[in-house]
Structure 1
């Protein structure tokens, strides 16, 4: 069964300049085309500004209103951005007339949880892009277009679609607008009135386009779409509506770019392993190079929430040397996406992918030098063998391993702590009782850092376990008595 999702962007001429996530100017905003108002926001309408007003009348009513000239190129680019973002649901996306995007979602309904869940996700995507949206769903693309423009309904059956479309106004079909006066003279006001007219006479008077549009809407004629094609690489740039002096302020713009990236990845069936966010600064004599944020992922990813969280943490940690005016996102490394593992029972403790995402988030939040992983060295001395390196650093694996069965603590102290001795027993909060045989370590003679120690596992009165050692003393130091040190704690 073919099902189409149509998304109409009614405020696109205004929202390409002032996205929804920006606060409205106190005096409002209006867009002009040929010196006449074509759209105005709520504060401007409250001031009395109406569609069709000229610039002088607008200034008379509200001198502080923000006035911009309509930019059709920017609107076309924004419509394409919405189409790319909606490719998360299907690769079959078409850009239709009057700021509408059509997506064939019949094969995706079950995957995304049904019609209502898919509509909620589509609205969330468009909200992230900063666009107001009206959504229609129908078994025909033209029918979904009409519902998004005028009905804002969800219909899955052709019989129901016919009942919903018939009461719509006649001018909702774009091909009828050149003949609106002639139709009005015939007493036609709705689509139902049009369909009652003789087809032969209607075709002679208006051409074949009116009948073809109606037939496609009602499912009696085949539909052909010019599906959106994507470039082989992803690079998107967004100009900011205002100068932004703090990196955190770029998060909304970065979110908009991430939404597009996820749509591109889903359509291409790819996952990203490295992205670059460029924060472009003002141009001029003292122009600065863009601030670059390079993010390398440990595991391929395509989830919007994970990528956005990484960017948020990185943006929070940087300071801008100059205000930024634009943001660019590039996917520098991609690979084929792995299919999801369909298992009856979830992995205990989470999957390897969830662990990798957690580590990436910690690196983004704390910095590469503060998230370490073990890289033990082939050395018998614990303080030398216990080596930790940054998560992304490559190192050669240690050759040789310690004999199995030797106890090693969960927490190794960077510097051993000398212990008190009471009644010839080591003391750390309470007397410590040795519960293991000695493990003798003699090493370091080859590099001048000789150690001669006997290690033990010791138990305290509260059942805590410690890793302690006793220094072996030479014959000339025998009068000092044994010296005990704490070197680690067991979990």
Structure 2
């Protein structure tokens, strides 16, 4: 990595070949003629750091940028939630790997102490005493305010932070300035540290430029997951749950430009974690045939709502929670299609054969329609409604179906359909000699005498 024709960072293979930071471009090419040199891109570095910060907001809302491409996280209030510092560090490393980056983590009671441990690769120190012991052995060049005075410090034999702390403070301040003392005091916890925490924007839109032209939709899942991780952090920071997202697949620009391909995902239940969304996108991408290569991705949260608290039920529901069932339905919709996963949709119609319809499982039913489907005080409805009523024989003034039927309920009169297919019926729950229960009705024809022989029909079976 070059900055102004000077080597800034090297890989392990280049270091083995003799290339060191601080070399000129010509010197590196002289040692390794076929070495790969890349100019530093500050804009892309800032975008990458912002993407990582957005993803880490899912672990704590207090994230800020530090010096030299570092991020500082205050995780004191998050340790119990994520199962301790070891578990939290493992989750942060997994998120960084999913984003395509590597990181060195430092943990300390102070932000500046953690920064110094991370810069030196010294790991975790959870107490002030242990942190100070670790800091004493670090090279003094890690302190940014001390770097202009490294030659003077080496001349007086001050090579570590511990030796720097033992110098007289008044003389050190006159020679190196107040900034060096402030860094030492902040690292040891002697002064308060003030930060401007990163604030999540009011809406979420994230883009990702791919490294090449992708022609296989399955290969886009890794890039989409990077964007989903950022959205997860944004949702947690804003205390939102997402109900609808859109992933745009951007194609070639210029003379052969074409509009992006949109992948929309509607959720029956709002979520704020990325694992379920990754499964849904995987199913969507598996069925997608790309008409043109993809060069970029854009993820947008189109519909969000406030995050609902977890259920406080003492006993969990058998067979999984409501959220688990909704996630199963959403996965089936992504795999089978919207028209192939349906739910019963009651209609505001008292006629039994017209009172129910079918709607996509993602559609939300209106409570008014559900309430109107079964009027208060009505008889129980059978689980099995026949597609077409069966006319029954009448023997000795009683309907007959395999055996004489005995009415075990009062009549429920239904008169509806005056706008078409008028029905005037009296429904009963009937019982046969085998104790089976049936839903039958007696048809009342308009203009007929009550003494006329009624006509009976079987309309449903009880379980």
Deviation at 1:381, TM superposition (A): 8.2
Retained in 2: the 8 A contact 1:88–1:267?
Answer: yes
1:137 pairs with 107, 111, 121, which one?
107
Q: Does 391-400 or 148-157 show the bigger shift?
A: 391-400
User: d(CA) in 1 for partners of 2:122 and 2:215?
Assistant: 40
Q: Secondary structure of the residue that 2:193 maps to in structure 1?
A: coil
Deviation at 1:113, TM superposition (A): 0.8
What are structure 1's unaligned runs of at least 5 residues?
1-30, 416-432, 448-455, 459-464, 468-486
Aligned residue number for residue 72 of structure 2: 102
1:127 pairs with 77, 91, 97, which one?
97
User: d(CA) in 1 for partners of 2:7 and 2:331?
Assistant: 47
Q: Does 91-100 or 347-356 show the bigger shift?
A: 347-356
Retained in 1: the 8 A contact 2:350–2:374?
Answer: no
RMSD, aligned α-carbons: 4.1
Aligned residue number for residue 133 of structure 2: 163
Deviation at 1:434, TM superposition (A): 6.3
Superimposed CA distance per residue, residues 185-223 of structure 1 (whole angstroms, 9 cap, x where no aligned partner): 011111111011111111111101111101100111211
User: d(CA) in 1 for partners of 2:143 and 2:231?
Assistant: 34
User: d(CA) in 2 for partners of 1:90 and 1:296?
Assistant: 27
Q: Secondary structure of the residue that 1:88 maps to in structure 2?
A: coil
1:10-409 pair list within 5 angstroms: 31-42=1-12, 44=14, 50-51=20-21, 52=23, 54=25, 57-58=28-29, 61=32, 63=34, 66-375=36-345, 387-393=357-363, 397=369, 404=379, 407-409=382-384
Deviation at 1:167, TM superposition (A): 0.6
Q: How many residues align?
A: 422
Deviation at 1:267, TM superposition (A): 1.0
Deviation at 1:359, TM superposition (A): 1.5
Retained in 2: the 8 A contact 1:166–1:191?
Answer: yes
Distance change in 2, residues 1:66/1:366 (3 Å): farther
Aligned residue number for residue 395 of structure 2: none
Deviation at 1:183, TM superposition (A): 0.5
User: d(CA) in 2 for partners of 1:338 and 1:400?
Assistant: 29
Retained in 1: the 8 A contact 2:267–2:362?
Answer: no
Deviation at 1:351, TM superposition (A): 2.1
Deviation at 1:102, TM superposition (A): 0.4
Distance change in 2, residues 1:296/1:406 (3 Å): closer
Q: Secondary structure of the residue that 1:375 maps to in structure 2?
A: strand
Retained in 2: the 8 A contact 1:49–1:58?
Answer: no
Deviation at 1:401, TM superposition (A): 5.1
Deviation at 1:116, TM superposition (A): 0.7
Distance change in 2, residues 1:242/1:39 (3 Å): farther
Q: Larger relative contact order (C-alpha < 8 A, sep ≥ 6)? A: 1
Deviation at 1:340, TM superposition (A): 1.7
Q: Does 371-380 or 204-213 show the bigger shift?
A: 371-380
Q: Does 275-284 or 45-54 show the bigger shift?
A: 45-54
Retained in 1: the 8 A contact 2:355–2:373?
Answer: no
What are structure 2's unaligned runs of at least 5 residues?
389-400, 408-416, 422-429, 439-458
Superimposed CA distance per residue, residues 460-489 of structure 1 (whole angstroms, 9 cap, x where no aligned partner): xxxxx9x9xxxxxxxxxxxxxxxxxxx999
Distance change in 2, residues 1:185/1:78 (3 Å): same
